[in-house]
């Protein structure tokens, strides 16, 4: 007997554009439910941009009723100020599903790419191409939304591996 269908919300956090994608997992089948991008006003004060991310993701959670969420970990770059701001955006993105009572898993970008494309060094175009193949109906998704769908797919694969290895309840 296969586990009950599950909805996973994937998030690709960013201060300018946060991608989101919702997939359905039924046994070993994945299907696309929805995707989009939350883009706060770049001229708004920093705190208002973070609030816009939180409220936008909260609305996605309310609209799609996911069972679990997954988010991409912050990519560390040489600019500490940019990394810190991205960390704030990531926190706002994590709080919305957590406040709704959802477990939130975190995945490194290389692991997400490897899960979807087969190599951790894949570029955004390769990820979008594979997501369009894995999830019919998602073709044409903006890069941020395709990345978010990839996070959701990586989480689905990680759940399957954990269940097979006996580390996760169905």
List active site positions: 12, 72, 144
Q: Measured between alpha carbons, how far is residue 59 from residues 36, 64, 170 in Å?
A: 12, 9, 27
């Amino acid at each position: 007997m296969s586990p009950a269908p599950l909805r996973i919300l994937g998030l690709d956090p960013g201060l300018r554009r946060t991608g989101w994608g919702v997939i359905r997992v039924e046994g070993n089948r994945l299907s696309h439910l929805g995707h989009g991008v939350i883009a706060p006003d770049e001229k708004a004060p920093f705190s208002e941009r973070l609030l816009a991310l939180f409220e936008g993701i909260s609305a996605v959670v309310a609209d799609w009723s996911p069972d679990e969420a997954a988010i991409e970990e912050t990519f560390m770059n040489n600019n500490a100020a940019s990394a810190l701001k991205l960390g704030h955006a990531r926190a706002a993105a994590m709080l919305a599903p957590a406040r709704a009572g959802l477990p939130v898993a975190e995945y490194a970008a290389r692991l997400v790419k490897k899960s979807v494309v087969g190599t951790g060094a894949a570029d955004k175009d390769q990820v979008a191409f594979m997501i369009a193949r894995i999830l019919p109906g998602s073709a044409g998704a903006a890069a941020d939304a395709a990345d978010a769908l990839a996070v959701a797919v990586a989480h689905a694969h990680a759940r399957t591996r954990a269940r097979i290895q006996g580390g996760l309840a169905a």
